[in-house]
Structure 1
C-alpha cells in the first residue's frame, strides 16, 4: 500500500452502525461479491453500485458501531474502498477492519470541511489534504500498516510464515 494516495469522497454521517453497513438479511449470503452489493442499502440503496475502487469514505463520529459482525469491514474491503476517514470509530469495528486489510484514519476535522465528490489526498502518518487545507492525522504503527498492506491479518501471518 502506498504511503500517499488520492481518492474521491463519499460522505456519511455519525453513528453508521454495522446494520447499515451490511443489513442482517444479507448475512446468509455465502458470496462476498454478492453481499457487497447490499452495502449501505438501508441508508443509500444506490451507493454500493456507485463506489469505485480507490474511493474514500468520510464519516462522522462512531463509524462501525453496533454488532461486531466481521462482514461489515469485509464488505467494505470487497468494494475496494481505499480507506475510511472518520471523526471516530467503534473499537471492535476498528480492529475487525485491520484484520480485513481496511485502512481506517481518525481525523476529527476533515468530515466538517469536505463534501461528497471532493478529491482528498492522504499522506500516511502526516495529513489529509482537501480543498487546499491540511488536516493532521495520527501515526499508524509500522506493524499495523504492514497488516493492512498485506491484505489483513491472516494474509500477513501467511506471508510472515512463508505460507503463501
Structure 2
C-alpha cells in the first residue's frame, strides 16, 4: 500500500473526543456528516484544509479515550489516507485497521505541518519529500495488511467468507 499527501500535525494524547466531538457522534451515524467535524476542536479549519490522501500526524497515544469506531471512520471519510503517530491507544489502533484506516507507528519528529509525504507500507518507509528524509515505520503484521488491502475487517469477511489469511 502506497499513499501520498500532506501532513497535518497534532500533539500527544489526541483523544477520540478531539477526533470527533461527542456533540456530533450521538446525533448522526452519517459518516460524511461526521467527517465535516473531524479534528475541529483542535483545528476548526481542518476539514477545509485536508485533501484526499493527506495524513494526520501525531505524537504518542493517538486515539485514547472511548473505544467508539466513529473516530477512525470519520477520519477515513474526511479523506485522510493514514494516521502516522509515535504510538496509538490499542482500541483505536484495532478499530482503525478494522475499518480500513492504516494506523502507522513511526517517529514523527521529522515531520512538520504541510510536509509532503509518501508512505509505502510494503517497504516499511515514509519519505518526507519536503525534507528529503526517510523514516522507517513499525511493520504491520501480514494479517493487518491483508485486512487493510481488503478495505477493512467487514470487507475482508465479505470477500473471503470469514477469516482467510493463507
Normalised TM-score (structure 2)? 0.90
CA deviations 1:86-133 (Å, max 9, x no partner) are 0100000000001100001100x2x21121111112121421111112
- Is structure 2 residue 119 aligned with structure 1 residue 122? yes
Equivalent residue number for residue 75 of structure 2: 76
Structure 1 unmatched ranges of 5 or more? none
Bigger mean CA deviation after superposition, 85-94 or 39-48: 39-48
- Secondary structure, in 3 states, of the residue corresponding to 1:99? helix
C-alpha separation in 1, matches of 2:84 and 2:22: 24
RMSD value over aligned CA atoms?
A: 1.4
Count of residue pairs brought into register by the alignment: 158
- Is structure 2 residue 113 aligned with structure 1 residue 113? no
- Secondary structure, in 3 states, of the residue corresponding to 2:36? helix
- Secondary structure, in 3 states, of the residue corresponding to 1:38? coil
Normalised TM-score (structure 1)? 0.91
Measured after TM superposition, the shift of residue 15 of structure 1 is 0.6
Measured after TM superposition, the shift of residue 144 of structure 1 is 0.8
Measured after TM superposition, the shift of residue 4 of structure 1 is 3.1
Distance 1:39 1:5, change over 3 A: closer
Equivalent residue number for residue 18 of structure 1: 16
Equivalent residue number for residue 55 of structure 1: 54
C-alpha separation in 2, matches of 1:142 and 1:112: 26
C-alpha separation in 2, matches of 1:153 and 1:104: 14
Measured after TM superposition, the shift of residue 49 of structure 1 is 2.2
Query: 4+ residue runs of structure 1 moved beyond 6 angstroms?
Result: none
Instruction: Within 5 Å, give how 1:139-154 maps onto structure 2.
Output: 139-154=139-154
Structure 2 unmatched ranges of 5 or more? none
- Secondary structure, in 3 states, of the residue corresponding to 1:112? coil
